[in-house]
Chains A and B, each alone.
Chain A
Amino acid sequence: MEKRKLLFVFLLLHVSFPLIISCKKAQDRPRQDTEQAMLQIAAAANLSYVIPKLVDAFRAKYEKYENADIRITKASSGSLVAQIRNGAPFGLFLSANTAYPQALYSDSLTVAPPEIYAEGIPVMVFRRRIEGERGVGSLTDDSVEKVAVARPELAPYGEAALQILRRAGVLEQVQDKFVYGVSVTQTFQHATAAADAGFIAASLLHGEAGIELEKADMQWIGFPESSYDAAVLQQAMVLLDSSNTAAADFYTFMRGEEAAEIMEKNGYRVR
C-alpha cells in the first residue's frame, strides 16, 4: 500500500501546485474599490519595451497619477481577448491588431469603437553570412535553411512577412523554410537563437531586444511601404471600463502627441 500512497502524493503534488499558485493570484488581485487610483492595462506583447516608457510619460503628464497603481499585463492579444471575455478587470486593451478589438466591440464588451493608436513596421533580420541586404530574394539561396516568421493567422507581422515575400515573387521558394512562432516575440527568439533569418517588428530593434540582436551578430533591413499592406499592422485600442477615469485618461493620452512621439522613437508609425 506504501506505493499507492506514494503515487497518490505524487499526483496530488502535481495537481495541487498550480491550484496553490492560482489561489495566491486570486488573493493578489487588486480590488476595484481601493481608494488609490487603479488602472490595469492589457497590452499586446509587441508593446513590451515601449509600454513602460508610455506609463512614465503618462505619470509625468498627469500629476494625480504620479504614484497611482498602474499595472500592465503583457500577453499575446489572443490570450488577452480570452481573459477580457471572461471578466478580467482591465480598463484598457492595447491590441496588436484591429480585429481583436473590433470583435470585442461587436460583442458590446467595450465602451467605444476601436481606435488606431499606432502602426507596426516590419523588418527582416539576418545573419551576416547570408546576403540579406540584397533583400528577400536572398532567402531563396541554398545557404538559408530556416526562416523564422510569426504564424500569419495569429500575428500581423507574420501576415506582413507573407505579403512582402509574395509581392517579391519568392513566397513559394521560401515557405518551405518557415519555422513558426505564435507571436513576433517568439519569432524574434527563433531568429536570434537558431534560424538564418526572420521577420520581426522594428520595435524589437530597440532596447533589450536590440542588444540581443547585436549579440547574435544579426543585421536588418526595412521595406518600402508599398511592399506590404500597412493596414494589417495597424494596432487598435479599446476602452473597457467607463467608470475608470484613469483608463479614460490613459486612452486620451495615447491619442496625444507625447505618446505618438514615444511610439515613433520605438519602431512604430503614427499617422
Chain B
Amino acid sequence: MSEGFDIEPFLLSFRLAAITTVILFAVSLPLAWKLSQTRSVFKPFVEACISMPIVLPPTVLGFYLLVLLSGRSPLGMFFGERLHIDLVFTFEGILIASCIYSFPFMLQPLQAGMEQVPVKLLEASYTLGKSKLQTLLHVILPNIKPSMLTGLIITFAHTVGEFGVVLMVGGSIQGETRVASIAIYELVERMEYGTAHIYAAILIAFSFAVLMTVYLLNHRYKIPG
C-alpha cells in the first residue's frame, strides 16, 4: 500500500457511483411517481422507511447490512447458493449497500419535483387521451428537470464520498472494494498526509469537473420559459 499513486481506487469509486446512480434512477422514477400520485394511508409509512438509512451512522448501517447480506443470513445464503453471488466483501455487495444508503437522495428530489407539477397539466394530458406512461415521459419528466438533476447529482456525489458503509460491507479489498474515500482515510490514519492531500485533491477535482459539466449541460439545454 505504501507504493506511489494508484488510480484503481478512483476507478472503483466512479464505477460504483455511476452504477448506483443508474440503478437508483430506474427504481426511483416509478416509485416517486406512485408516491406523488397516491393518497394511500401507507404513503407516510413508505416515505419514512426510505429515509431511514440517513438516520443511522454509516458504519452502524454498514454493520447491519453486513449481518443481513452475509452468507450466514437467509438472504445471503440464497444469493450464494442459488446465484453464486457473494454479497459481502465484493463489489456487488458494496453496490447493494450503496443503493440502500443513497436511495433517499434520489427518491426525495424526484418525488418533490413530481408533486410540484400542476394537476391541470396531468388532467389535460389524460383528457387528450395520453396514457399514464406517455404522461410520465412527455409531461412530467420535462417539467421536473431540475429535480431530476438534483437527484442524479446528489446520489452520484454522495456515493463517491461514502465511506463507512462501504468499508464495513466491503472490507477494503484492493481492486474490489477499496474505493477512493477508503484509500484517503487509510492514508490519513497512517499520517501520510502528503499523499492523502494528493488523493483528496484528485477526488475533489474530478468530482467538481463531473458536476460542473452536468450543470453546464443543464444550463445549455434548458428549455426557455
Interfacial residues, chain A to chain B (CB-CB below 8 A): 2-4, 6-7, 10, 14, 76, 78-79, 81-82, 100, 103, 145-146, 148, 151, 153-154, 178-182, 186, 189-190, 193-195
Contacts and interface: CB of A to CB of B under 8 A. Distances in A.
Interface residues of B, number: 37
Binding site of B, secondary structure by majority: helix, strand, loop or mixed? helix
Contacts of B1: 151, 153
A31 B190 CA distance: 30
17 contacts: A3-B144, A3-B147, A4-B146, A78-B189, A103-B191, A151-B172, A153-B186, A154-B186, A178-B171, A179-B170, A182-B186, A186-B168, A189-B168, A193-B63, A193-B67, A194-B71, A194-B88
Given A78-B189, A154-B189, A7 B146 contact: yes
A178 B172 CA distance: 9
A2 to B, nearest CB: 6
A180 B146 contact: no
B72 interface: yes
Contacts, number: 91
Contacts of B89: 146, 179, 194-195
Given A153-B1, A179-B170, A180-B178, 11 more contacts: A3-B116, A3-B146, A78-B188, A145-B86, A153-B2, A153-B190, A178-B171, A190-B66, A193-B67, A194-B66, A195-B89
Contact of B172 (A10, A79, A81, A182): A182
A6 B116 contact: yes
Contacts of A186: 59, 167-168
B204 to A, nearest CB: 16
A152 to B, nearest CB: 9
A79 B189 contact: yes
